[in-house]
Amino acid sequence: MTDSSTADHADRQAPFDTFATDLRTHLAGALRPEHAGERVRLAGWVHRSRDLGGLVFVDLRDRAGLVQVSFDPRYSPPDAIAAAGSVGVESVVLIEGVVAERPVEGVNPDMATGAIEVRGHALRVVGPATTPAIPVARGRGEKLPAEELRLRHRYLDLRRPELQANLLLRHRLLQATRGFLAGRGYLEVETPVLTKPTPEGARDYLVPSRVHPGEFYALPQSPQLYKQLLMTAGFDRYFQIARCFRDEDLRADRQPEFTQIDIEASFVEQEDIIKLVEGLLGRIFKEARGAEIPANFDRITWREAMDVYGSDKPDRRFGLNFVDLTEELKDCEFRVFSGAVAAGGVVKAINAKGFADISTGQIDKLTKLAQAAGAKGLAYIQARGEDRESWRSPFVKRMTDAEVEALRSKLNIEAGDLILFAADQWEPACDVLGRVRLECADMQNLLEGNEELNFLWVTEFPLLAFDEETSRYVAVHHPFTRPLKEDEEKLLKGELSTDLRAQAYDVVLNGTELGGGSIRIHEGPLQSAMFKALGISEETAAEEFGHILDAFRFGAPPHGGLALGLDRLVMLICNEQSIREVMAFPKNNKGSDLMSQSPAEVDPKQLRDLRIQTVKKPGAAPTGNTPAAAAQG
């Protein structure tokens, strides 16, 4: 039995001896001193080789890690030495040899197999490699090749032990999820990938139908309606590791397709979903990190999250909490403050302790950030000393002693502090100061060395937001989200406002949203009222969502659920900066797969079959983007 638990990148679920075949007896990276004296057949890639003039060392790599194989005239036949001496790196080889303990001075503590080596008796190349387009083996401190190159040759980049470890962890996390949910009666049900387009929400990826010329399927943005229909069909508890597609502008951490752990249950309330997900995340973190996380996470309402942290996914690993100064500064001679209050707004501030010596460049950066978020500027005080004369600020002279004292006591201002303000209507003021808060924490390195896992539930999200551009209400979560009991009547009566609250909840880790969900509407009249609130006419509702409205007429159970973003979860657990590092074949930040060169133009015949004509002229330089397509009908 091999020692799988200490191998470099051990897969704890499959013992290594299950990898034995006629071609190999052991995994190279799993060999240990207990194998000394055993004759082994190994198979894998040549990670490195060194020819010291007749004495050849080959580092052989397989899924379990690396082992050193030596070819030495004392025990290796000449043809084996010659084969080892001429083999190219990254070639696939079959090796026969005997495991031997290394002398004490030869032990390599940096290798899991460093106490042994394999004395090579034969080496056969079964998959020769030309010089790899990007190197797989890297010296200490050696930088990775440019990401474009790595994505282009993803099959080579995936050989890197780091990426192998990430995908192995992702696998383990998925197995843990399946085990946990199946163990609680959740059924894994697959839902269609070819679905019906909807104009709601994000932009759909469309798939033309050949059989129905001029008609299109959409790839699902999430299995939302299907999982609700499964509830009305009586399945009671559902989950799916679901691929979702959204044609949104891509940001650094977005992919056109991503994976959700999607969950729905009947006869549940918010509390049940929260408990379930706390348990699931507990199992996931135990499996993936060996970490015990709290059994119950703190909860705050959306209003409180915005009011104190200026974010619906607050990072609470550091302070910089907002202090409200609306009352204290309502008559301030500095009009930015009193004017905001007179217009029904608020004044809020944070105290960045000990940051009075912020540089002009840093102040500029914070100001630009505030402006980009919609503020006119950024008011600040650098409290260089105790008394107000020493405070550096464009407006402190215009404050009364009482106002200064109120600031001092409410913000606990001491010499060396930096105070940053926002004054506006409540939501924009909170939003601006929330962004400033995060940047400030970054500038002050407040999270350096912080290993905390800070989980949080944010509840009672607003049901509706007002979209200024289209002058109509939009759903904050999605149109199937249930209002809070207290606000149900208002929705039914059409008394709409952004004050209506939803039974919607997000789970947050260290300032990142891991996922969110809601208790759903399960009655036709309430669902129709919601569609109406969103400006969806009865005809459109019947056309787009007729099936769910119908399903609600035939006996629908109360139900609710949530979806966790799997890619981001794995990224956080792997301490990676990008979800591309935890996906096998990601696209770049322009949505292109550089390896297979997709998206790509298609054969005109395929377009003819689909009765589609592209607007782009044939022969025009490729843009790398999907050509705009028009249905001919």
Estimate to the nearest angstrom the gap between the alpha carbon of 181 and the chain centroid: 21
Taking the C-alpha atoms of residue 518 and residue 434, their distance in angstroms, rounded to an integer, is 25
Where does residue 340 rank: exposed (0-12), middle (13-18), buried (19+ CB within 10 A)?
buried
120 vs 561, which CB is nearer to ligand ASP?
561
Residues 6 or more apart whose CB falls under 8 angstroms from that of 424 comprise: 340, 345, 346, 374, 375, 432
195, containing H or E segment: none
563 vs 573, which CB is nearer to ligand ASP?
563
Is residue 599 within 8 Å of 625, Cβ to Cβ? yes
- In single-letter form, the type of residue at position 392 comes to R
Taking the C-alpha atoms of residue 95 and residue 97, their distance in angstroms, rounded to an integer, is 7
Of the candidates 460, 462, 461, 458, the residue with the CA atom closest to the CA atom of residue 507: 458
Site track for ligand ASP across 471-500, x = CB under 6 A: ------------------------------
Of the candidates 478, 109, 484, 515, the residue with the CA atom closest to the CA atom of residue 301: 484
213 vs 279, which CB is nearer to ligand ASP?
279
CA 352, 356, 360, 361 dihedral sign is: negative
Site track for ligand ASP across 253-292, x = CB under 6 A: ----------------------------------------
Residues 6 or more apart whose CB falls under 8 angstroms from that of 410 comprise: 323, 325, 328
Place of tokens 């909840």: 505
314 vs 561, which CB is nearer to ligand ASP?
561
> Which residue among 310, 314, 345, 561 contacts ligand ASP (CB under 6 A)?
561
- Among the listed ranges 23-31, 341-349, 461-469, 557-565, the one in contact with ligand ASP (CB under 6 A) is 557-565
Residues 6 or more apart whose CB falls under 8 angstroms from that of 165 comprise: 9, 574
329 vs 563, which CB is nearer to ligand ASP?
563
Is residue 9 within 8 Å of 111, Cβ to Cβ? no
**At closest approach, how far in Å is the CB of 181 from ligand ASP?**
14
In a 13 Å sphere around the CA of 152, the CA atoms on its Cβ side amount to 8
**At closest approach, how far in Å is the CB of 327 from ligand ASP?**
38
> Which residue among 68, 166, 444, 518 contacts ligand ASP (CB under 6 A)?
518
In a 13 Å sphere around the CA of 344, the CA atoms on its Cβ side amount to 1
In the sheet that holds 346-352, the strands lie side by side as 323-324, 346-352, 417-424, 379-383, 391-392
Place of tokens 């039995």: 1
235 vs 426, which CB is nearer to ligand ASP?
235
459 binds ligand ASP (CB under 6 A): no
> Looking at beta carbons, which residue is closest to ligand ASP?
222
Taking the C-alpha atoms of residue 418 and residue 356, their distance in angstroms, rounded to an integer, is 4
**At closest approach, how far in Å is the CB of 459 from ligand ASP?**
14
517 binds ligand ASP (CB under 6 A): yes
**At closest approach, how far in Å is the CB of 245 from ligand ASP?**
11
β-partners of residue 473 are 466
**At closest approach, how far in Å is the CB of 261 from ligand ASP?**
10
161 binds ligand ASP (CB under 6 A): no
**At closest approach, how far in Å is the CB of 231 from ligand ASP?**
12
Place of tokens 């403050």: 337
> Which residue among 31, 563, 570, 579 contacts ligand ASP (CB under 6 A)?
563
> Which residue among 336, 358, 533, 562 contacts ligand ASP (CB under 6 A)?
562
- Among the listed ranges 83-91, 97-105, 374-382, 560-568, the one in contact with ligand ASP (CB under 6 A) is 560-568
71 vs 258, which CB is nearer to ligand ASP?
258
**At closest approach, how far in Å is the CB of 513 from ligand ASP?**
10
113 vs 232, which CB is nearer to ligand ASP?
232
66 vs 230, which CB is nearer to ligand ASP?
230
Q: Using CB under 6 A, count the residues that bind ligand ASP.
A: 8
Site track for ligand ASP across 213-252, x = CB under 6 A: ---------x-x----------------------------
**At closest approach, how far in Å is the CB of 167 from ligand ASP?**
24
Is residue 349 within 8 Å of 323, Cβ to Cβ? yes
Binding site for ligand ASP (CB under 6 A): 222, 224, 516-518, 561-563
